[in-house]
Each structure stands twice: as structure tokens, then as C-alpha cells.
Structure 1
Amino acid sequence: MEQVTRAKALAPQGTAGNALERTAGRVTRWAENWFPDAYIFAAIAVVVVALGALAVGAPVQRVGVAFGDGFWSLIPFTMQMAVVAISGYVVAVSPPASKAIAWLARLPRTARGAVMFVAFVSIGASLFNWAISLVFSGLLARALARRTDLRMDYRAAGAAAYLGMGATWALGLSSAAAQLQANPDSLPKTLLAITGVIPFSETIFLPQSMLMVAALTVASLVIAGLSAPVGERARTAQELGVSLDDIDMKLEKPVRPGEWLEYSPLVTVLIVLLGLVWIGHEFTTKNPLLAISNLNTYNFVFILLGMLLNWRPRRFLNAVAKSVPSTAGVLIQFPLYGGIAFMLTKAAAPGGVPLSEHLAHFFVAISTQGAFPAVMGVYSAVLGFFVPSGGGKWIIEAPYVIEAAKALHVHLGWSVTVYNAAEALPNLINPFWMLPLLGVLGLRAKDVVGFTFTQLIVHVPLVVFMLWALAPTLSYHPPVMP
């Protein structure tokens, strides 16, 4: 019965809808038929880079040793990015956040306005934490779908909830590349020697970067509103066969005396108070921008916030348990990226140069100072579709991107922004990062990809143009070594 209901809901409803739905269906079916799991692409990248290193003359033993040496080089960063996902989920499903969602869901007055509102919340939240953006926006879309006075297209709202991850997250505080470059302790030493330290003030807090965020936000909201079906063309969650029951986070009563501390806020309060002492010290003794740039500080704040908002340890632990599956890709893929980075930078022919320098020379040869941001943006976006990394791909690209930027005298922080802006583009049509959100929504990738593909058509030329047009407004500075 559910399949019949969904089939009726997705039946053609007019010429314009037919074209959009056919395009979405074709793109998604093609991806589902021909693209394996994202891990396979990371594994293929290992093989390709190893073959590339061998091709430039590196001995087999040196390539293998570099891969093994680099495999665990990103363990601190891997753990940090996993905690970003966990803490974001825990905050988003807390009782105060749930109440905030219920209140926000009462604000929109029209179905099209509701879709745009979800997009706005998703984009705004993504600038602070991409995991919060996915989960919170998904729960907001569900809450709006419960309103009987709005005939909101649930597919369009689901796509809008994904726009933070597909448009702006990499230009915000949870940008893996910006966080990595601002934290020398997290950088592999081979990469640190090339890039130096690039603080937030030279990446996400550049006026040019913030202008990009503003332009992408406006474009995304307009497209989300105009592409959302309304009236009889809209398809509600009920018509799609989606259950809108609340995600179960309710606590049972303790059954044993030894469990009372799990259900008491006492331990939570004591830990949060202790943590606040450290946070106060951190932000009063350092520049606040430098303090929040530290990924450990960023995660510490969100973990404490998650503890506080969930109040009772048992509820906090339940939320953590539900969040862990979203970290699987990070945990298994980032070690491969570490091995790739070492093969790029350390596996060289005797007396020769590593593969990263050959790639840097290639990009210098085909680029000019003015064209470099656009060329690298397109390249990074294409690579990002095959290796959806959530930012870890920067470890692979940084050695030759920064070397090329230095040779062409391109602002190094803007080179990170080029990567960040291009990194988000393939997310709009790659289902990998949609999975946590789709789980919350009860939808499938092909239900939303038609709307996200529409966003991609506008975002690609807009992003590439801004990367090219804004680059000349910045001056080159040599790397800053710690």
C-alpha cells in the first residue's frame, strides 16, 4: 500500500513538473546504478595516487612505506571531525531544540514560504555546525509537514533542509579545511611545511568569503522558493507515505538504584560548570577568533552544550548512540586520505620530486594568476563528486594547490576558500552526505535530487565567477610558519 501511495504521489502532474521530475529521476537512477559506496572512491584514489607516484619514478617500497606511515597521521583530526558530527546531532535532538523547532514551525504563512524558511535555517545553522544543520533542518521540515493548514511539498522542504550542506557549510566554522589550516597540531608535518598556518581571519572571515556566503544564501532561497510545487502540484509527507511520528528520545524510569545518577542532572551540572571555567579562561586570555578557530575548543563547547541541553546523562548517552552511525564514513575514509597525502608528498624518486610537486607544476603551467581560482574550483568540485570527504579531501589537494598558489602568488587563504566553495557543490547531487538527513526525513535520494540539481545548475557558474572575480582583490603573503 505504501508503494502505491508513493507511486501516486510521484505521478506526473503537468508539463513543467514532468520535466523536473524526469530530470531528477534520470540523474538519481544513473548515480544509483553506476556509483558504488563512497569508500570505494577513496580506495580507488589510493590506487591512482600510488600508480601516479610510481609513474614519476618512486620505488615501490617507498610508495608502500609512505602509505603505511601516513595511514594513521590524521587520527587526531579524524576524531575531531567525528565529534563534530556527534555533538551536532546531540544538540539538534535535545529537548530545548525540539521546542525551538515546534515554535519555528508555526512561523511560515505559506507553503512556498515554509520551504524557503527551511532553507534559511539550514544555511544559517551550517555556518556553525554542518551536523546541526542537517538534523535540525530535517526535524523542522517534519514539524512543518504536520501542519494541516499548509500544503507544503515535502520533497522540496527536504531538499531545502540539505542546502546548508550543499551550499555554505564549508565556508563556515565547521569547515574541515579552514579548521585544519588554523590548527598546526592537527596538520601532518609534511603539509605544515608547505602551507604554514592559515588563520580564520585569512579564510572564512575574509570579507570576500562572507560576500560569497551572502550571495549563495540569496540565490539558494530564491531557487528553493521558485522551484517548490504549490497547490495541487505539491506532494505532502502523507501522500509520499512518510510517517511523521516524533523520533523516539523519551526516557524510561530507572529500574535499579544504581541507575539514579544516569537520570539525575547532578553530574551534568558539575561537568558543565567545570567546563565553563576552562571556556572562560580560553576566551578571556586569547583572541576570541583564535580561540574558536581551535577545533578542540569548538568541539568542547558543543559537547558541553549537548550535555546541558539534554540535561540527564542517560538522554545524552542515548543521543550519542543514535549519532554514531553518521561518523562511519569519516572514521574509515580519513586514514586512507592520510596515506594518500604521504604518497603525494613523500614518495619520490631518488633525487627527484614527489607527485605533489609534479601536480603543482602542471597547474602552474595551465593557469595564470587570474585563472587559477576558477581552474582549481572546477577541478575540486569534480573531484569532490567522486571523493565525498566532508573536507578530508583537502589533505590530498593541499600540497599541490598551495604549492601552485605560492608559485602564482595567489592569496593562500583564498586558495582554501576556493576549495571550500567548490567542496560543497557536488554535495547537491551526491547522495553520500544526504544519508543522515534522509534518515530523519524518511525520504530517498531520488525524492529530493531534482530540487538539489536545480540548485546546482545556478550554483556552479555563480561560485566559479565569484572565485575568479574576487581573487584580484586580495594580496599574496608568504606562508606563516608556527
Structure 2
Amino acid sequence: MLSTVTALSVKLIQRYLPSPFVFAILLSLIVLAASMLVTGQGLPSMAKHWGTGFWNLLTFAMQMALILVTGHALASAPAIHRLLAGLARTARTPGRAVVLVTLVALAGSWINWGFGLVIGAVFARALAREVKGVDYPLLVAAAYSGFLIWHGGLSGSIPLSLATGGADLERMSGGVVTTAIGVGDTLFTAMNLTIIALLVIGLPILNWAMHPKDPKVADPAKLLDPAHEALPRNTLAQRMDDSRILNLIIIALAVVYFGYYFAENGFALTLNIVIGLFLFIGLALHGSPERYMRAVQDGIGGISGIVIQFPFYAGIMGMMIGANAEGLSLGRQITDTFIAWSSADTFPVLAFLSAGLVNVFVPSGGGQWAVQGPIMLPAGQALGVTPAVTAMAIAWGDAWTNMIQPFWALPILGIVGLGARDIMGYCLLMLVYSGIVISGCLYFFG
């Protein structure tokens, strides 16, 4: 039964899912038409919202690009490469390979979403090299499934925003949250830990069960690591390029900085700190500036889709929050509709579902928070739902529909050499399972 459903899902996705860039363009046109219909604004006003929003996420886009490039460089360091290759050799069978890559990706994404994406992709390639007969698209989809857990993990932007506090939090929460809410009330609650546990148990089993009888094995050419010539050391300039001494000096400076940072702030992992850690740990493991830059150049292609598509999704967000004279926007209308259907018992589930819908159009945790936080948190409070529960419902909704929104799959696809159509059929079934788990936990615990 599952094999039949899986085959049908894969076939439908391969036939009808456009490329991620075309998907972003189509979403832009859908949001444009829907916003004009809902808010009554004309094309000039909507074009202004779109154009103004188009450039609003450039800083965040640069952070995303850096975290993925530095994460790829770290994962491709010789020591990490040997570790992953050794771990891959323990798999032995296709089923074990799928389970193992799922668990590694889940663990990595819980620690940090960027690290999870990259380590999952690199490990999938290592497993494809070592394990005969494993279905490569499913292996990559399993690596991507680990991303489901990110917003309930240590790098979740919404729970970290709640923990940071400040004037921005009060504004983003619609005035509901005036003091910081610690991660003990968001990430480490029984509700969140139960969701994570059920995903960690269930996703590997589901992914294992989906392995086809007639697997599509990887093209060996896609599994070859880039070949590099030996670095010349004939001139002073070349010796400086490959200098371990210069490497150690700049790493020592970074160690001093990070030491002071963690002494003053505790284990607070902001995006910039994670990028810095990835960069300097990768630099240390590669051994010299030139060797590190080669690894960066090998990974730079994986971010091309994100770099060009981020402005389009920022433009979509601009249209989603672009309000008419009465203050009505498409994002507000979607959220208000779900609120109108809610009771105190069903509100967390409907907040989750609405967030999942919005995430299809705004696949950014920060963007999601900007669209829904100021509306959802006051509504939840009025129904007696705590801000922490409402915020985590939004966070899980943001993570959930990434399984059918190909934007965040682009870094993985760039590393493994596949297209979105190759993996999204499997991801659709992961979406169904995770949706049942998350909504069930939100209902019973929320």
C-alpha cells in the first residue's frame, strides 16, 4: 500500500512541479492576484508593495548564503569527510542508509538548521558511494526531512526571538510579550520534546518503508569530489596563500573573540555567531587560507538558487503584508480567517495550519514571524492560549510545509546534483506524517 502511494506521489510531483525559480514566480503572481482581490488595491499599489519588499531581506539572504557556504566548507574538511565516510560504511544495506541519514540530518538540524542541511547532503553522498542499491532520490529526501525539526531546535528563530526580548519582541508580538520568554518555556517543554521524539522515531521508519523495489542509484559522476591540483609553494606569495602560520594567527584571534562572547552571553547562538563558528572551525580543519577557499568555491554553486530567489520571496512578503487604507492585508486576512474558526482548544492547531499555509509563500522563519506574530499572539491570548504555545505553533507551521516548498531544498540539491522533482514526491508523504504528529501534539498539549 505504502509503495503504491509513494510511487503515485513521486509520479505526480515529477509531472507537475515546476522548477523552484518558476515556482517562486508563480507564487508571486498568485499572491498578487489574491491580494488585489482581498484588499481591493490596484496594480500600482501592489507593485509598490512588491518592489519595496523585494530588497528587504538582503541582509538575511547574505546570512543564509554564508551559513550554507561555510557549512559546506566545514562538512567537506578532510577530517569531517573521513568521519562521514567511516560512518557511511557502517550502513551496509539501503534501508540502514536511509535510516542513518535521516537521524544524522535530524540531529544536525536540531543543533543548527544550516549545519543540518549541509551535513545531511554531504552524508547522503557518502552513503551513496558506500552502499550499493540505495535509492539516491529517497536518500536525499531523507536528508532533507531532518529539516522538519529545525524550528523546534536550538537555532529556531521564533523561540530565540522570544528569548532575546526587547522592543522588537514587543512589536512583533502585537504588544502581548513585554519580557523575554526563555527556551525552557518553548524548546524544552513537554509538547515540543514530544513532537521531536515522535519525529525522530517515526521519520526514519517512514523513510525506510518508502524505499522502492526498483531503486534509482546515483550517477557515479555526481559522487566524485572535486579534484584539485597540488598547491604550488614556489614563491613567497604562494607560500603565504598556503601558510598554516597565518591560519593559526587569525584562528587564535577568533578564539579570543568567541571566548569573550560566550563568557558574556552564555551559549547564545545567533546566526552571526554560527556563521563565525562554521567559518573558523572550517578554516582550522582545512589548514590554510588557500585550501579553505577551494572548499568555499566548491560549495558556492549550491547557493545560487537562494541568492536569486530570496528577493522574490521578499517581494511576496511585501505583498502579503501590504495593507490598504483600512489596514487589511492578505496575510492578515488569512490569519484572521483561521482565528475566526478557532476556539481555545483548536487555536494552536489552526495557528499551526495557517502558519504552514503562509510559509508556502514566505519560506522564512523571520518573515513568518513578521506576518503572523503581531496578529496571532494577541488572538491567542484573548482565547487563553499562552504566547509561548502560539509562537511554537507558528514555528512548527513554518518548518512543516518546507516539505512541499522547494526553496530550502536548494542547498541540498546543489550539493547532491539532483532537482526538486526528484525528491519532493517522497517529501509529500513526510509532510502528511509530520502534520499529523505536530497537530496532534498541539491539540493535546496546547
Alpha-carbon distance change, 436 to 67 in structure 1, aligned in 2, over 3 angstroms:
closer
* Aligned counterparts of 1:318 and 1:185: Cα–Cα separation in 2: 41
Instruction: Give a deviation string over 1:218-276, Cα, whole Å, max 9, x none.
Output: 110111222224xxx35262xx5443543216353136532322211222211221111
Which secondary structure state, in structure 1, belongs to the residue aligned with residue 111 of structure 2? Answer: coil
Q: Is the 8 A contact 1:49 1:343 kept in 2?
A: no
What is the letter of the counterpart of residue 221 of structure 1?
Answer: P
Instruction: Give a deviation string over 1:19-62, Cα, whole Å, max 9, x none.
Output: 532331123312238x862432563476358637853xx89998
Q: How do 1:53-202 and structure 2 match up within 5 A? A: 54-55=39-40, 72-147=55-130, 150-165=132-147, 167-182=148-163, 191=172, 194=175, 196=177, 198-202=181-185
What number of residue pairs does the alignment pair up?
442
Question: 2:237 corresponds to which residue?
Answer: 258
User: TM-score scaled to structure 1, two decimals?
Assistant: 0.78
Is residue 285 of structure 1 aligned with residue 271 of structure 2? no
Identity across matched positions, percent: 27
Question: 2:12 corresponds to which residue?
Answer: 26
Question: 1:309 corresponds to which residue?
Answer: 285
* Aligned counterparts of 1:110 and 1:201: Cα–Cα separation in 2: 39
Q: Is the 8 A contact 2:151 2:395 kept in 1?
A: yes
* Aligned counterparts of 1:408 and 1:362: Cα–Cα separation in 2: 15
Structure 1 residue 124: Cα displacement:
0.8
Q: Is the 8 A contact 1:118 1:161 kept in 2?
A: yes
Q: Is the 8 A contact 2:241 2:288 kept in 1?
A: yes
Question: 1:275 corresponds to which residue?
Answer: 254
Q: Unpaired segments of 5 or more residues in structure 2? A: none
Question: 1:7 corresponds to which residue?
Answer: none
Which secondary structure state, in structure 1, belongs to the residue aligned with residue 130 of structure 2? Answer: coil
Which secondary structure state, in structure 2, belongs to the residue aligned with residue 409 of structure 1? Answer: coil
For 1:296, which of 272, 295, 299 is the aligned residue?
272
Q: Unpaired segments of 5 or more residues in structure 1? A: 1-14, 472-482
Which secondary structure state, in structure 1, belongs to the residue aligned with residue 221 of structure 2? Answer: coil
Structure 1 residue 101: Cα displacement:
0.9
Structure 1 residue 395: Cα displacement:
2.7
- Farther-moved stretch of structure 1 (181-190 vs 135-144): 181-190
Instruction: Give a deviation string over 1:49-100, Cα, whole Å, max 9, x none.
Output: 8637853xx8999877776666555444333333222222221111111011
* Aligned counterparts of 2:56 and 2:166: Cα–Cα separation in 1: 11
Q: Is the 8 A contact 1:123 1:217 kept in 2?
A: yes
User: TM-score scaled to structure 2, two decimals?
Assistant: 0.84
What is the letter of the counterpart of residue 235 of structure 1?
Answer: P
Question: 1:10 corresponds to which residue?
Answer: none
Q: Is the 8 A contact 1:53 1:344 kept in 2?
A: no
Question: 1:235 corresponds to which residue?
Answer: 215
Alpha-carbon distance change, 186 to 427 in structure 1, aligned in 2, over 3 angstroms:
farther
* Aligned counterparts of 2:54 and 2:129: Cα–Cα separation in 1: 47
- Farther-moved stretch of structure 1 (91-100 vs 316-325): 316-325
Structure 1 residue 139: Cα displacement:
2.7
* Aligned counterparts of 2:378 and 2:128: Cα–Cα separation in 1: 49
What is the letter of the counterpart of residue 39 of structure 1?
Answer: A
* Aligned counterparts of 1:94 and 1:44: Cα–Cα separation in 2: 42
Instruction: Give a deviation string over 1:291-325, Cα, whole Å, max 9, x none.
Output: 22x33223222222222222211122223334344
* Aligned counterparts of 1:190 and 1:59: Cα–Cα separation in 2: 29
Alpha-carbon distance change, 234 to 295 in structure 1, aligned in 2, over 3 angstroms:
same
What is the letter of the counterpart of residue 402 of structure 2?
Answer: N
Question: 2:28 corresponds to which residue?
Answer: 43
- Farther-moved stretch of structure 1 (216-225 vs 456-465): 456-465
Q: Is the 8 A contact 1:75 1:335 kept in 2?
A: yes
Q: Is the 8 A contact 1:242 1:443 kept in 2?
A: no
* Aligned counterparts of 1:444 and 1:420: Cα–Cα separation in 2: 27
* Aligned counterparts of 1:444 and 1:67: Cα–Cα separation in 2: 28
Q: Is the 8 A contact 2:105 2:144 kept in 1?
A: yes
Instruction: Give a deviation string over 1:159-197, Cα, whole Å, max 9, x none.
Output: 2222112x2122223334344555568959953764655
Alpha-carbon distance change, 88 to 98 in structure 1, aligned in 2, over 3 angstroms:
same
Structure 1 residue 122: Cα displacement:
1.1
Structure 1 residue 342: Cα displacement:
6.7
Alpha-carbon distance change, 334 to 26 in structure 1, aligned in 2, over 3 angstroms:
closer
Q: Is the 8 A contact 2:32 2:46 kept in 1?
A: no
Question: 1:6 corresponds to which residue?
Answer: none
The root-mean-square deviation of aligned C-alpha atoms, in Å, is 3.6
Q: Is the 8 A contact 1:340 1:396 kept in 2?
A: no
For 2:224, which of 238, 242, 246 is the aligned residue?
246
Q: How do 1:439-450 and structure 2 match up within 5 A? A: 439-450=414-425
Q: Is the 8 A contact 2:173 2:375 kept in 1?
A: no
Alpha-carbon distance change, 385 to 67 in structure 1, aligned in 2, over 3 angstroms:
closer
* Aligned counterparts of 1:16 and 1:64: Cα–Cα separation in 2: 45
For 1:397, which of 372, 377, 400 is the aligned residue?
372
- Farther-moved stretch of structure 1 (461-470 vs 418-427): 418-427
Alpha-carbon distance change, 410 to 268 in structure 1, aligned in 2, over 3 angstroms:
farther
Q: Is the 8 A contact 1:53 1:347 kept in 2?
A: no
* Aligned counterparts of 2:140 and 2:262: Cα–Cα separation in 1: 37
